[in-house]
Chains A and B, each alone.
Chain A
Amino acid sequence: MGRQNGKKIWSIMALCAMIGFLLLPVATSLNALASGGGEAPPAPAVKAEGEKKDEAKVEKGRDVYYKTEGIVSGAPAPKTVDGPRDYPRYNFESRVLLWFANQQHLYYGSFVLAVPIFCMIIEFMGVVTKDKAMAKKYDQLAYDFIKISLTAYSLTAILGGILIFTFLTLYPAFFGYLSSIFRPVMHIYALMFVAESGTLYIYYYGWDKMKEGFLKWIHLSMSVILNVIGTLLMMLANSWIGFMMSPAGVDEQGRFLGNIWHVIHTALWNPLNVHRILGNMAFGGGVVAAYAAYRFLSAKTDEERAHYDWMGYIAMALAVAFLIPLPFAGYWLMREVYAYRQQMGITLMGGLLAWLFIIQATMIGILFLSTNYYLWQALGRMRGAEKYQRYIKYLVFVLVCGFLIFITPHTMVMTPAELKAMGGQQHPVLGNYGVMSAKNGGINVIITTTVLSFIWYMRGNKEPMVPWKNFGNIFMGAFFGFAYVNIIWLAVYGYYIPANVRVGLSVPQVATTLSCLFFMTALNGFMLKGAKQMGPIEWGKISVRSQYAIIMLATAFTWMMGLMGYIRSSVRLFWHVNEIMRDNSPWAYTHTVGFAANMISFNVLFFWISILFVFWLGTLGAKKVPVNVKAHVPGRVPEPAHGH
């Protein structure tokens, strides 16, 4: 008993230490923050007041974004010139080197930030699940997740170091300016990183020691703290890119005005934060799913296959769950971009970078197609799912139609001969499908079909037994049927009404899709209460092809992340810091789409090769099969113990 109490005390102390870790940077920086970011001379807050009255020497500047006045307390942004002083270089394009270093750091960073969030969710599921065996499975899965991220964690730190060295050696003037503005933030960042690693190690190594009762809850709250630190870290890093895109807290010449919060809290900071968190989660889910696919494909026993099939399914479900709100966060970000600088929005959506959005549209289509394909393959591991399989061909037809319409471009750059042959910028028939009205219809049809596939998957091995099941089925059919009708009708209707009314049609279209998602999954859940099981989910019985769908999804996520990051970064065009500090290096122009695509592919492949290597190392370390798998066949729904 005394030992138990001792453990409790120790664990509470560990938790307090962690919170201390978390607060440490804030505490140390309070002083600096109060004094305007440590830029001004000692005790400047009071002194500045006095000075203002005494001498007119104190220069004031106006914030470029907040329009407030502040005392100039920093040097102006350097006016760089092309040369070895501001842009030292190897015999290679510095920007590409930086691009590479940045992207690799970001991939690993996103991964190690996302995985603890999954861990937290899965560990929590394990704690609240009533089924003992399932709880153990979830717990083991969470532990596996954190184990993967631990190796990646040190790689992240190494890549971060490489990134800083690249900045210092290749862009000294720019980095000098940025770090002069963000000096206190960068130190807080470094301290937070210490806190993050400390917490992570206690969390990881304390797993076995703290697996029961009250200690488990302490352990779980540790994961919450871990994620709070991780999220704060990411938000601080975001403040730098936010500042580069939409500077604030400085005057026109880029002189710091003493309010560090304005510098952090720029126009695009919060939209970027939300978009990034969601994106990281989808990406992290993709990587973990790919890990599971790798283990599935290299599995030697049925138990292993069962475990990793299940793991891949969970990771994939989490990834898709975060993928769905992602476009809305993106929409918000885009709206804020337009509100900040209309020209920036036009460059993105209608100008120089518009072709990249065409690629993005294609990628979104690919993501949904592979998700659907995975779900159809997953029907194969259930007995009783045959009833749906013969309808899949119709879904394929609908999906392909939606996809083709979705990717049809409105106008293309063409040679005069081609132009003449086609009789105009737009194809006489296909040109009609290239407009937004039709495209919105296309993508909504795709998402609605994905929802339908998911519902079929949920029902795969079950037969509803509720008394109103006939009505329920008919209602569900009618709902989906009329949802399709409504989406397509709105798309067609858009051709007959003026543009300013038409743009609004996308909202009811999306609402229709979301209605299907929320109402129909809920209705399905009610209908399946107490449903008759036709047979257990036979984990591991899924086809090998399905694992390639997962890998496709993971690769596409990675690629898309690289693409969107490139778009976000290149929208600044020839500015280091938008409208404050010009890029005067020889690489201030924007690359062609093709070059960018090659670079993204290179980054994606490099990341995957390195992380597959990490996975492979992981299998070398632990050659034994997860022990507790044998005890129980995993399943989405807790099953009676006869499973094995």
Chain B
Amino acid sequence: MKELLVAALSMGWGVLAVLAGLLVYNFTKGNKDGAFKIFIGMLATLMIFMAITNYRDNFFAESRLLPVSLVLITATTFMMALYFSNVSALLKIGGFMFLVAAALSGYGNWLPQVEGGFPPPDVKLVFDAMSSQQLADEGEKIIFGGIGQSSVQGAIGKGQCPLCHGFQKGFLSERAPNLFGLPERAEKERLTDPNYHKGEPQKRAYVDKESCPGCGTATTVQEYIAESHSCPNCYVAPGFGVKGTNDKESPMPKIHKPPISLSLPELAAVDTWLYVREGREAPSYEDIIKSYEKFVPEADRPKQQDDKAAGPTQLLADGTEPVDQIFAKGQCVVCHTIPGIPGATGTQGPKLEEGTNAPNRIHDPAYKGTAKNTQEYIMESVVLPSTYVVKGFPDNLMPKIFGQKLSAGALKKIVDYLSQVKAGAPPPKIS
């Protein structure tokens, strides 16, 4: 208290001296009323300076005396309002407003203080200026989520390729061809395959004849890769078609279209990696882009995105999407048929009528899992697919990454939806 008084005096002595002079002047003139008012004014000034010094000295201190300043200032205005009757309403209102605003300020300061850091540096990737090794590194990031991740099982990036494709020699790859040795194979096997009908797209027996009207077929290895990305249905490697279509239709989505939507430069990076990691020399960036421009009409080329989709957590779905999008983003639709979900017509995994199936599975003597009810069974099957493998379907086909790659909210939506799907009943509403 004493220090505060001293500090206030040392700060406001000038103003106080002027007021004291006025006081003496009024007093000698016999203006008692005026003198009294100035005395009150001096008192108020002192209080305000005390409030200010308290604020100055204790702002970063532990004592938390700041509200004292607030009360002092408010009290001062009300005290002055008592004596300065012509502006009393203004003083009172001002003091009260100050109290309200300052209290709200205090509340804001009391809450946990989070400062939004500086924005990430503007790393707009300039693919066309990269060396082929840099380009290949970017490609590895897109496919696997990080440099050096290509040898880690389950690593996956925004391209989501490893969901279906194997990339290393001997890695399991039953849903889609293992891409090890692709550049060589493309040249020696694919382009020469009579079913490929090189140069004669109209003779093709596949669902799509050409990537775009007049696009024609690939003539080089790079064009073959580009065509496979932009038009998976133009040629299907034997044994990898959608079940029941006699390999006429591919389960692979068009990579430049949603949900994956890689831009042409990104695709160029991916392709460069495919060559570079086998020690081959990759075609130049311009050539790769040219090969894609042959198969992807300008209107269909996605713009290059900042790495938004692959945020810090690298989730496939964060649970805020409607459930049909979660199924699409998780690529579930490629292998499973899910009633009520558009496009979910896959046949490599069982049809997901879990409202009917799950109770039977739990009671199957072969069931060794821990689920007690439908919801738990679905959760277990998504997160730990090998716990129970439905008869007639291979084990280890379904990736074991969904526990990490889907948020809890997304998993919950999946469970909620699938548990309501019953055989022979209309599908539940999408939420």
Contacts and interface: CB of A to CB of B under 8 A. Distances in A.
A589 interface: yes
Which of A412, A588, A593, A608 has the most chain B CB within a 10 Å cutoff? Answer: A593
Contact of A589 (B116, B122, B320): B116
Contact of B108 (A290, A294, A589, A598): A598
Contact of B114 (A500, A592, A598, A609): A592
Interface in B89-135: 89-90, 92-94, 96-98, 100-102, 104-109, 111-119, 122
A593 B106 CA distance: 10
Given A551-B96, A559-B104, A582 B119 contact: yes
B112 A355 contact: yes
B94 A612 contact: yes
Contacts of B102: 601
B98 A605 contact: yes
A548 interface: yes
B96 A297 contact: no
A591 B112 contact: no
B104 A573 contact: no
A556 interface: yes
Which of B87, B105, B107 has the most chain A CB within a 10 Å cutoff? Answer: B105
A359 B111 contact: yes
A612 B98 CA distance: 13
Given A500-B416, A551-B93, A601 B101 contact: yes
Main secondary structure of the interface of B (DSSP, over half): helix
Contacts of B308: 343
B320 A346 contact: yes
B347 to A, nearest CB: 29
B88 interface: yes
A244 to B, nearest CB: 16
Contacts of A548: 96
A252 B301 CA distance: 14
B305 to A, nearest CB: 10
A555 B116 contact: no
Interface string A345-368: 010000010010011001100000
Interface string B293-326: 0000000000100001000000000001000000
A630 to B, nearest CB: 22
Contacts of A297: 88-89, 92-93
A6 interface: no
A424 B111 CA distance: 19
B412 interface: yes
B111 to A, nearest CB: 5
Given A598-B108, A605-B98, A499 B93 contact: no
Interface in B243-262: none
Given A552-B100, A608-B97, A294 B90 contact: yes
Interface residues of B, number: 37
Which of B88, B109, B114 has the most chain A CB within a 10 Å cutoff? Answer: B114
A294 B89 contact: yes
Which of B96, B98, B112 has the most chain A CB within a 10 Å cutoff? Answer: B112
Contact of A593 (B92, B97, B108, B416): B108
A311 to B, nearest CB: 15
Contact of B93 (A290, A343, A582): A290
A90 B137 CA distance: 44
Interface in A606-629: 608-609, 612, 616
Contacts of B105: 594, 597-598, 600-601
Contact of A590 (B94, B100, B109, B116): B116
Contacts of A573: 116, 119
A88 B96 CA distance: 39
B313 to A, nearest CB: 12
B431 interface: yes
Nearest to B88: A298
B106 to A, nearest CB: 8
A413 interface: yes
A142 interface: no
A583 B122 CA distance: 11
Interface in B391-412: 409, 412
Interface string A551-591: 11001100100000000001001100000001110001111
B229 interface: no
Interface string A497-523: 011100000000000000000000000
A570 B119 CA distance: 13
A605 B113 contact: no
Nearest to A584: B122
A537 interface: no
The 9 closest A-B pairs by CB, nearest first: A597-B108, A590-B116, A574-B119, A298-B89, A594-B109, A413-B112, A297-B89, A601-B105, A601-B101
9 contacts: A346-B320, A362-B107, A499-B409, A574-B118, A582-B119, A593-B111, A594-B111, A598-B108, A604-B97
Given A559-B101, A588-B119, 11 more contacts: A294-B90, A298-B90, A359-B107, A499-B412, A555-B101, A556-B104, A559-B100, A559-B104, A573-B116, A582-B119, A594-B113
